[in-house]
Structure 1
């Protein structure tokens, strides 16, 4: 196991980095620990999970509900940690929107576009999902949403007291996601869009529409699994992710 250090918004950073630096943005209701097992697991990828203010290792900090402000803060923190290294941004579901908005700020304001962006399980920024959950629908509807999407262990869903504790925090993530406004930014870097073949929320064609948001190389890949296919596929997903990044960067053999 690699030696792990913490650095501000990044609680799990391999002390020795040898692969490509990949900053990982989690789904609504998740935390940086969703990617803890990725750190040091693949020699080609140095995964750096991103923790949001007010959550888990940053719970003492104030929650930030302004999507644009949050992406600007993260972009600056990424540049500080990268210290000149080129970076890839990876985001799953809500995290895909954050990865895109952060990449837009890196490109347009900080003049430091990422090497590539990878988005998974989220529709393109200019599309919506008919019937998707909105925070105004309340906690009961949110519980139903979690059951539909999967990713939450049945024993946790069955524990009413625990769910009462968790749902308020998860709803805050949905509120944050709802503050995301469509940006017209076309990224200059390559973009890889990943879809789950059995995702009940986001059809593959809505993910393929990310092609409109890059002027660089674009690849879309449909993988077996549901909404949480990147986490459900286990360690093998990192090898597939590394291959996909190599492909969009033109490094494949």
Structure 2
């Protein structure tokens, strides 16, 4: 199946599920970020984490995330209504995937909308060490990874590719015709709630907003909120 590389190695279809949520990771991240979501999801929800090349079980592969390939993988595995969830870089990727497939809803987190230009220290980091420092400060790299030279080098390589991919995306105001929700962390300096709320401009299908306590990765530690939001929005679609 061509879909297999693009979904987490631990993913298994859940026949009892009434809703599938395809989860797209942040820059430098892999599908394992959603392992707790997959493990703890209720019987009626299936979490299907997307795996990008160059990380975890795809470390031998190179190349940027591919919206078309992800859309194909979703088309092959979706059994009914599904929701796209994207965190940070994954939000921009989920937006592009949503132009190729028709989700019941799109949920984005910790990301500025695509009608704003990219900005921030990640995009001006001159060295890999600068890049690692910035992401580490946001809580995006476990200390044990930074302590291991080979893992540190691999994460830096993946991060650089992801940041370059994100910086290459054109500014666009093209609207989707799907329900859209934006989730942010109240203390996220890189994607503050007032900017994340701008995703309302990117859809004609209705908009919801949730602001959580915490920083850039706050939405990742509140899977229950995201799943409830997904079920609610899919039911209204």
TM-score normalised according to structure 2 size: 0.87
Per the alignment, residue 38 of structure 1 pairs with 37
Distance 1:197 1:154, change over 3 A: same
Distance 1:175 1:153, change over 3 A: same
Q: Does residue 72 in structure 1 map to residue 72 in structure 2?
A: no
Alignment partners' CA distance in 2, 1:124 and 1:241: 19
Per the alignment, residue 12 of structure 1 pairs with 10
Alignment partners' CA distance in 1, 2:226 and 2:129: 35
CA RMSD of aligned residues (A): 2.3
Q: Where does the alignment leave 5 or more consecutive residues of structure 2 unmatched?
A: none
Q: Where does the alignment leave 5 or more consecutive residues of structure 1 unmatched?
A: 1-5, 107-112
Per the alignment, residue 186 of structure 1 pairs with 175
Q: Does residue 50 in structure 1 map to residue 50 in structure 2?
A: yes
Are the equivalent residues in 1 in contact too, given 2:85–2:106 (CA < 8 A)?
A: yes
Alignment partners' CA distance in 2, 1:26 and 1:224: 20
Per the alignment, residue 242 of structure 1 pairs with 227
Secondary structure of residue in 2 paired with 1:38:
helix
Instruction: Give runs of aligned pairs for residues 202-241 of structure 1, distance below 5 A.
Output: 202-231=191-220, 233=221, 237-241=222-226
Aligned length: 231
Secondary structure of residue in 2 paired with 1:137:
coil
Report the more deviating stretch, 34-43 or 74-83.
34-43
Secondary structure of residue in 2 paired with 1:183:
coil
Report the more deviating stretch, 215-224 or 130-139.
130-139
The structure 1 segments of at least 4 consecutive aligned residues displaced by more than 6 Å after TM superposition are none
